[in-house]
Structure 1
Amino acid sequence: MSETIFTKIVNKEIPAEILYEDDLALAFSDINPQAPIHFLVIPKKPIPTINDIELEDKSLVGHLYWVAALIAKQKGVAESGYRAVMNCNEQGGQTVYHIHLHVLAGKSLGWPPYQEKLKAE
């Protein structure tokens, strides 16, 4: 796998607003937020897409969700609610090929996700 911007953030080659870090994961604020609260949770292990998750990565992926919930509690949005989503490949909206969990909160989030965009058109 080629190095991505997320690999560079993990390696501290590119600055980011770090919210959480441990041996397995890193969480940081999204530079192009789509909600008042928008952060990413990534594994330090580079896994390109959801399709590339191996059996031995099961606990790692679960850990990403645990980190998301921890930060949501710290930010005071766990009770009101948040969205945690991982995109896969081009048509799924993935732009960086290193799996990452988007966590969005701080406003009412419509469903389906594209609903607000359709209303604007």
Structure 2
Amino acid sequence: MELDVIRTRFGPLELAIELHEVSSVLDYGEGQGITLIDPAPRLGLRPLGGGHVGYVEPEFGPPLGIKIGEVHGFEKWTPANILSLPDWIANYLPDVLKGACGSDEKGEIVWLLDLRKLTEQG
């Protein structure tokens, strides 16, 4: 199974978002006028004031914008890049991160942001 992701820099964190969860990526200014959700406080970070916005069309309700930080590019992860986390780690992650992560070319962890949970909880 391959996974297409958007790589972002989110404060001090490297994050990835599954590409199929986002309709489009907007500049921060283009995201004005739609409801914006900022996951930064749920990750223990200061609220984001810029960067990019992932335009999401949830199953129910109006479209939303998720602040996703600074986009660094798009990647295709192979099974070798995807790591399923054991429960003893996954259970202690912030609820807006998935129980899996990826590794980049340097072997560093790239956390997967869970847009479904963000849009459900607002």
Structures share fold, TM-score greater than 0.5: no
Please report the TM-score for the alignment, with normalisation by the length of structure 1: 0.27
Larger of the two Rg values belongs to structure? 1
Please report the TM-score for the alignment, with normalisation by the length of structure 2: 0.27
Higher helix proportion (structure 1 or 2): 1
